[in-house]
Structure 1
Amino acid sequence: MNSNASINVLYIDDETHNLNSFKAGFRRMFNVFTAESAIEGRKVLETELIHVIITDQRMPVTTGIEFLESIIPDFPDPIRILLTGYSDINAVIDAINKGQVYKYIAKPWMAEDLRINIEKAYEIYSLRKENRELTEKLLVVNQQLEFLFRQSLLS
């Protein structure tokens, strides 16, 4: 991928040093937005077009999975990545089933691997968007063809 600067990434973590480390490591590659809580994360989603969401699992008040599950009705498009320092099989299962998580990545992250996963997540985001647009165009063309077919039958 040549220009990643147009990829908007939201990283949510209650640990400020993780947010700072993420921003320092990826700010030149992506448009990075950070939030220290699920509430702050939702505020960012309400004001910015976010392509990829990365959230820590273990946070006070709301877990990463609970946050991801809660935003699906209002923000279904961003691709979701769960990042955690704990390996809990139930969290993995819930992440996939409830939070519609694309990737489950363990802390500490390897910068190159995380970069690649963000780029792949953005590719999925772009392909889904393109697919929706093509489907909408196909429906319009189909309606036009049906109209023309009816007109020719009536003539």
Structure 2
Amino acid sequence: MEQSLQYSNVLYVDDEIHNLNSFKACFRRDFSVFTAPGVAEALQVLKEQEIHLIITDQRMPETTGIEFLESIIKDYPDTIRMLLTGYADINAVVDAINKGRVFKYIQKPWEEALLRQTIKEGLALYATNRSKKQIAEKLEENNRQMEFLLRQSLLS
């Protein structure tokens, strides 16, 4: 199994049910796919599952995809975020990058092979970030242990 596929929980948020069904049908064999027709349902999935990558539609009735992604950064900082939209709005692209910390911006209608590859890249990035975080934590622990040993040796 590829390293990136160790982390394969993908959440797709879109208010159009047929888009959710299409996404699930196309990608359920490649990834663990979770879908949500709105932000409330997406937040529930995030509470119940360890989601590695989120793809959200930009235009939804209760909020925008950017606003949703921005709202979850504090609680889910490591999750890779992607924005999907049928509208080419440069302001949305800029906001996605600056506010929502979006990894990729994808135009609708999406091409299955390209989206699959982009999801794999996002999951590989998640795996890399996770490895870096674990290494940093180990280094921090080693530094604490070294500091303790140095103090003990100075006190002896």
Which TM-score applies when normalising by structure 1? 0.95
What is residue 109 of structure 2 aligned with on the other side?
A: 108
- Note if 1:48 corresponds to 2:49: yes
Aligned to 2:97: 96
- Distance change >3 Å, CA 2–CA 135, structure 1 → 2: closer
Instruction: Verify: 1:124 aligned to 2:135, yes or no.
Output: no
The alignment's C-alpha RMSD in Å is 1.4
Letter in 2 for 1:70: S
Contact 2:9 2:51 in 1 (8 A): yes
The 5 Å alignment of 1:3-152 reads 4=5, 7-152=8-153
User: Residue 97 and residue 70 in structure 1: after superposition, are their counterparts in 2 closer, same or farther (change >3 A)?
Assistant: same
Please say if residues 6 and 31 of structure 1, whose CA atoms lie closer than 8 Å, have aligned partners that are also in contact. no
Bigger shift: residues 34-43 or 142-151 = 142-151
How far residue 154 of structure 1 moved from its aligned partner, in angstroms, is 2.7
Contact 1:56 1:83 survives alignment (8 Å): yes
Q: Percent identity?
A: 61
On the 8 A contact 1:79/1:101 being kept in 2, the answer is yes
TM normalised by structure 2 equals 0.94
Alpha-carbon distance in 2 for matches of 1:143, 1:75: 27
> Per the alignment, in what secondary structure is the counterpart of residue 103 of structure 2?
strand
**Over residues 79-124 of structure 1, what are the superposed CA-to-partner deviations in whole Å (9 max), with x where a residue is unaligned?**
0000000000000000001101000000011111111111111111
Q: Structure 2 unaligned runs (5+)?
A: none
Q: Which has the higher contact order (CA 8 A, sep 6+)?
A: 2
Task: Give the 4+ runs in structure 1 shifted more than 6 A.
Answer: none
In structure 1, stretches of 5+ residues that fail to align are none
Alignment check: 8 A CA contact 1:5 1:29 kept: no
Amino acid at match of 1:128: N
Tell me the matched-pair count.
Answer: 155
